[in-house]
Structure 1
Amino acid sequence: MSNIILYHGSAERIVTPTFGLGEDRHDYGRGFYLTESDELAKEWAVCRPDETNGWVHKFVLDDTELKILDFQKESVLSWLAELMKHRAAADSKRYRVLSEKFIQKYGISTDGYDVIKGWRANASYFYIAKSFVRDEIDVDILEELLSLGGLGIQYCVKTEKAYEHLSEIDEELRQINFEQYNKKYNERDITARENMKSLIESDRNKVTKVFSTLL
C-alpha cells in the first residue's frame, strides 16, 4: 500500500468528492483536483477576487492498484494536446483547425487511467499555451518555461475506483486568510509571467520548431 498525501484548496468548508462531477473544460476534464503542495493549496483556496477566506482540505489517496498517468513522464507536447482537448487557447479558425491536427498527432489516450498527474494550466501556463499556438515559442524551451512558472503539479481523480481510494482527514481542515494568500497567489503569477517573458524574448528562443511546423 502506498498513501499519497494531497491537498484541495476550496472556497467551501464542506467538500464531498463525487464521481462524475466537475467541469469538462478543466485541464484534464471532469474530476476532483488536488496537489501535493500545502502552500499551493492555500493559494488556490483564495485565488478568486471575492475577498472571502477559503479552506484547505487534506486527503489521503491510496494508490494501490490505481493506474496513474504522469504527464511529466510524457512529452510536453502530449500535455499540451491534452490541454487542447478541454480548453481553448485561442478563438481563431486557424487554432481550431490546427489544434485538431495537433491533438491527433501528439495526444495520448487517457482511457483506463484512474488518476491524471500533470502541470496545472492556470493563468501563467495558459499564457505559454497561447504564445505557443501563435508560433512565438520554440518547442526546445517549452519544458523550461513550465518549470519557471513554479505553479505546481496537480492530481485529477477520474474514476469511481480512484474516488473510493480517496479519503479526507477531517481534523486537518484549515481556514485560509484571503488577504495573505491571495497576495501570494498574485505575486507568484506575476513573477512567473516575468520569468517566462524573459526566456521567450531571449536568444535561446530560436522560434524555429514552432506549433505550426510540428504538424
Structure 2
Amino acid sequence: MGKIILFHGTPDKVIVPKYGGGDDKHDYGRGFYLTENMELAKEWAVCRPNDTNGWVHKYELDTDGLKILDFQKLNVLSWLAELMKHRDAADSKRYRMLSKKFIAKYGVDANEYDVIRGWRANASYFYIAKEFVRDNIDIDILEELLALGGLGIQYCIKSKLAYSKLKEIQDELLVVDYTEFNDKYNQRDIEARKNMRDLVDSDANKVTKVFSTLFEE
C-alpha cells in the first residue's frame, strides 16, 4: 500500500493527534479517524448544527509495516460486532443479552492491529442497526443497505506505531463553508434513509435470516 493520503474533517483549526486520544464510544473505540474522500471529510467537518465553518486537515500515512484490519474484506457481521463493542444499537435487555452472543460469535480481536478500516457509523447506520436488532432486516440485504447508506469508508489510527507514521501536510489546511457542506451532509442522510427504507420495505427483505436466528445451531 505504501503512503496514502487521508483527510480529517473537524470544527478545529488546530489539532494534534495523539495515541490514546479519542472516545471509547466512537465506532472503533479510541483513535484518530480519517477518510480518503475529501468531500466526505468536508461534510463531517460541519455535521454539527452550530452554523460554524469547519476545517479539513490533510495527512500522509506510511502504511509500510502496519497491520491494517479492513472490514470490507470481512463478513459485514464482523463489522457490526465491532461497532456493538463500542456503540449501543438499542437499550433493551434483549439487545444487551443478544449483542454479547453476537460479539462472541462474529467479533474479531482488533487489539493487535495498528489501523482499522471500515464504514463510518453515521445516522443512517443507526437506522440499520436498530431495525436489524429488532429482527426487521434479513442478513441477505445487509451489505446492500450499507452501500445505500452512503456511510463512507474511514480509517482509525490505533497504535503508537501508526501515530508515528501519520504526518500532517500543514500547508494544505482547508476551510469548509458551513452552509454548503452541512446542507450536503443533511441531503445525503435524507436520501440514504429513503433508499434504505425502500429496500427494507421491498420483497428483497425476506426477514427469515434475522438477528435472533444467528444464534440458532
Please indicate the TM-score interval, normalised by the length of the shorter structure.
over 0.9
Amino acid at match of 2:173: L
Amino acid at match of 1:184: K
CA distance in 2, matches of 1:126, 1:17: 27
Q: Which runs of 5+ in 2 are unaligned?
A: none
| Residue 166 (structure 2) aligns with | 166
Deviations 1:66-124 (A, max 9, x none): 00000000000000000000000001000000000000000011121000000000100
1:181-200 equivalent positions in 2, closer than 5 A: 181-200=181-200
1:95-110 equivalent positions in 2, closer than 5 A: 95-110=95-110
Aligned residues: 215
| Residue 37 (structure 1) aligns with | 37
CA distance in 2, matches of 1:146, 1:134: 17
Deviations 1:126-154 (A, max 9, x none): 11011100000000000000011122000
Q: SS of the counterpart of 2:155?
A: strand
Residues 40 and 151, structure 1, Cα contact 8 Å, conserved in 2: no
CA distance in 2, matches of 1:14, 1:140: 43
Q: Which runs of 5+ in 1 are unaligned?
A: none
Amino acid at match of 2:103: I
1:201 matched to 2:201? The reply is: yes
Aligned sequence identity (%): 69
Structure 1 residue runs of 4+, over 6 Å off? none
| Residue 119 (structure 1) aligns with | 119
CA distance in 1, matches of 2:23, 2:84: 15
* Cα distance, 1:2 vs structure 2: 0.8
CA distance in 1, matches of 2:166, 2:102: 34
| Residue 91 (structure 1) aligns with | 91
| Residue 20 (structure 1) aligns with | 20
Normalising by structure 2, report the TM-score.
Answer: 0.98
| Residue 175 (structure 1) aligns with | 175
Residues 7 and 38, structure 1, Cα contact 8 Å, conserved in 2: yes
Amino acid at match of 1:158: K
Amino acid at match of 1:182: N
| Residue 46 (structure 2) aligns with | 46
Residues 42 and 176, structure 1, Cα contact 8 Å, conserved in 2: yes
Amino acid at match of 1:26: H
CA distance in 1, matches of 2:165, 2:95: 39
| Residue 145 (structure 2) aligns with | 145
1:73 matched to 2:90? The reply is: no
CA distance in 1, matches of 2:193, 2:25: 23
1:8 matched to 2:20? The reply is: no
Q: SS of the counterpart of 1:49?
A: coil
Q: SS of the counterpart of 1:125?
A: helix
CA distance in 1, matches of 2:26, 2:134: 22
Amino acid at match of 1:187: Q
Residues 7 and 59, structure 1, Cα contact 8 Å, conserved in 2: yes
Residues 134 and 211, structure 1, Cα contact 8 Å, conserved in 2: yes
Q: SS of the counterpart of 2:191?
A: helix
CA distance in 1, matches of 2:121, 2:48: 16
